[in-house]
Amino acid sequence: MNALRDKYAIVGTGKSRLGQVGENSLSLLEEAIKNALDEAGLTSKEVDGLVVRGPDDVYSHHQLIAARLGIDVDFSTSLDNGGASQILSLILAVMAIEAGLASVVVCGYGRDSWTRTHQKGKGIAENSLIPAAQRPREHGPEFGHFGAVSQHAFGARRHMFEYGTTRDDFAAIAMAFREHALRNPDAMMKKSLSLEDYQRARLIVDPFGLFDCSLNTDGAGAVVVTSTERAKSLRQRPVLIKGFATHNNTKGWILGDHMLSTGAVESGARAFRMAGLGPKDVDTAQIYDCFTYMVLTQLEDYGFCKKGEGGAFARSGALRLDGVLPCNTSGGQLSEAHVEGMLQIVEGARQLQGVYGPDRQVPDAEIALISGHGGNQVCHSTLILGRA
Amino acid sequence: MPEYKKPIPVPSAEAQPYWDGLRDRKLLMPRCDACGKYWFPPSLLCPHCNATKWTWASTSGHGRIFSYVVYHRVYHPGFADEVPYAVAVIELDEGPRMISNVIGIAPDKLACDMRVEVVYQPITETITLPKFKPAAV
């Protein structure tokens, strides 16, 4: 058995307000951390590790957050793996505690994307989430190629070509998550989504329309990680960290078959091995859903269905709360809020704590799989949690 | 000629020979002297075998559309009059993949694996863009 399996646990989870909040990313993260510490029954004075992330132009995020919390910390850093960072923050927390570098680590992510993109009197470039110095200046923008939507849409198009996947397959994913969001009072999206709504919505970058794209959010999430031994004396029922892994297709998203076969293939297989589990053992999946297609391909890559069958799997109702694999039960980034995967860790943990009412709880959930994906579409991480 | 309002590439030092080649209507790619493979964008080592000796080599300018998307949203004012327009991942016959536009065909007629060939489109005295059109059969 893997020596780290079940040795560490999540002992508190927290969210900030979500949506069009109008606070900066640091304030939102501070709010989420406060909520996570309260849930754990801890104060910031007991925190000796901090691994966080925020907007790419906020330098030394972790130092600013620690200062706000009024703490010196033995272990702290900020991460740079895009949407794969948030699971990586938990992995670093476990590694740091295992190495004796810290004992209670707060992991978190905060963003103020909605506010940044709605500044009055500023043009689209000034409102960009990517700092000017980091934007490509050749081999892309001259062709009118900008950013993440179209990069992922390349993958969707090739998948449609190779496997006969359709936009209605993507719709099944968007609709299932929207149904979940309607049961989640925190979710930004409050209206139901029909197939007709999906089909009628404007195209953004074809094959993606409006409802294939995740939300623009101000918000934050945080979790507290410590040893399962230490967790025994804390307030909450802990959630066991059973397995984790990362894999980065850093050769490039447009190379090889990376846009069809994500890092979930490798990070999933290794996380399952660490946990001693397989796809059939998973009771709920919280899949990184920056775009509908990314859910479809990751479900295939994890082995929840065969390659090329993700569309049929989604259309079968598998992802709904009463399906074989309740997926993104909070509404996910498509319908709850886009906090770069942090809220999916929170949701996975809470499903295993069994905190929800019957309208929103996955019955008898014992194992949750959570995925993280991002950077330049190439970084991937997997986390497998278990009920204590 | 109307003012050019789209982003004008700012060549990196390592890609300058690529842009110089385009100005002369040549699509050059790095090719490894040791293993003979091509790659793009340029880097100091061959990413296939890590050899340090390589050459800017001519390509046929022919390839296929590996994937493509059609922009409906305007992300930059320079493209306001162009939507919907196609952006593609082009795979050259020599192997490298690159981002470009496919022109001379309606976006809804495009398909993955369609054969294409390079078209040179000068936009300034020093910068010429490599775009692609359906290959002559």
pLDDT in tens, B113-137: 999 999 999 999 999 999 999 998 7
Q: Please give the residue of chain B at the shortest CA–CA distance from A162.
A: B112
- Whether B73 sits inside 8 A of A161 (CB atoms) is no
Q: Which CATH number does the domain housing residue A272 bear?
A: 3.40.47.10
Domain spans, chain B:
13-134
Q: Which of B67, B82, B107, B83 is nearest to A152 (CA)?
A: B67
The range of the structural domain enclosing residue A23 comes to 8-116+215-387
Q: What is the average pLDDT score of chain A?
A: 96
- Quote the tokens at residue A40: 């754990």
- Using the CB atoms, write b or e for B50-74: b if 16+ within 10 Å: eeeebeebebebbbbbbbbbbbbbe
Which of the following CATH numbers is that of domain B13-134: 1.10.540.10, 2.30.30.230, 2.40.50.840, 3.30.310.10? 2.40.50.840
Cβ contact B69–A140 (<8 Å): no
Tokens 């990313």 appear where?
A25
**What pLDDT digit, counting tens, does each position of A213-262 carry?**
999 999 999 999 999 999 999 999 999 999 999 999 999 999 999 999 99
Residues B1, A165: Cα–Cα separation, whole Å: 44
Q: Kindly state whether A37 is in contact with chain B, defined as any CB-CB distance less than 8 angstroms.
A: no
Does residue A257 lie within any of the structural domains?
yes
Q: What pLDDT, on the 0 to 100 scale, is given for residue A368?
A: 98
Average pLDDT over residues B24-28: 98
CA of A163, closest CA in chain B: separation in Å?
Answer: 12
Among A117, A127, A129, A142, the residue to mutate for chain B (most B Cβ within 10 A): A142
pTM score? 0.97
- Interface probe, candidates A128, A145, A258, chain B, greatest B C-beta count within 10 A: A145
**A135: in domain:** no
From chain A, the residues in CB contact with B87 under 8 A are: 143-145, 150
Q: Which residues of A249-279 are buried (b: 16+ CB within 10 A; e: fewer)?
A: beeebbbeebbbbbbbbbbbbbbbebbebee
pLDDT at A123: 60
Nearest chain B residue to A202, by CA: B72
B93-116 residue pLDDT tens: 999 999 999 999 999 999 999 999
Tell me: cis bond preceding B2? Omega within 30 of 0 counts. no
The answer as to whether A162 is a domain residue is no
Helix (H, G, I), strand (E, B) or coil at A159: helix
Is B17 an interface residue toward A (CB < 8 Å)? no
- Predicted pLDDT at A130: 76
pLDDT digits (tens, 9 = 90+) for A277-320: 999 999 999 999 999 999 999 999 999 999 999 999 999 999 99
| Rounded CA separation B134/A226 (Å) | 59
For A119-176, the pLDDT digits (tens) are 877 666 556 777 777 788 999 999 999 989 999 999 999 999 999 999 999 999 999 9
Please give the structure tokens belonging to residue A30.
């501070």
Nearest-Cα distance to chain B for A51, in Å, is: 32
Q: In what order do the strands lie in the sheet with A284-286?
A: A75-78, A49-53, A105-112, A218-227, A8-15, A239-248, A379-387, A367-374, A284-286
Residue A27 inside a domain? The answer is: yes
DSSP summary character for residue A349: H
Look at residue A197 and tell me if it is in a domain: no
Per the rule left: phi > 0, alpha: psi between -120 and 50, beta: everything else, A303 is: left
Q: What's the structural domain count of chain A?
A: 1
Q: How do residues A312-343 score in pLDDT, each as one tens digit?
A: 999 999 999 999 999 999 999 999 999 999 99
Is B72's CB within 8 Å of A147's CB?
Answer: no
Residue A247 lies in a domain: yes
- The total number of residues shown for chain B amounts to 137
Q: Is residue A133 part of a domain?
A: no
Q: B98-131 burial, b for 16+ CB within 10 Å, e for fewer?
A: bbbbbeeeebeebebebebbbbeeeeeeebbbbb
How many angstroms away from the CA of A121 is the closest CA of chain B? 16
A334: nearest Cα among A185, A203, A183, A173: A173
| Domain membership flag for residue A331 | yes
ipTM: 0.97
Q: What is the Cα A104 distance to its own chain's centre?
A: 22
pLDDT, tens only, A90-100? 999 999 999 99
Six-digit token string for B8: 């004008």
Among A197, A47, A43, A191, which Cα is nearest to A107's?
A47
CB B58 within 8 A of CB B28: yes
CB contact under 8 A, A154 and B68: yes
Q: Do A206 and B113 touch (CB under 8 A)?
A: no
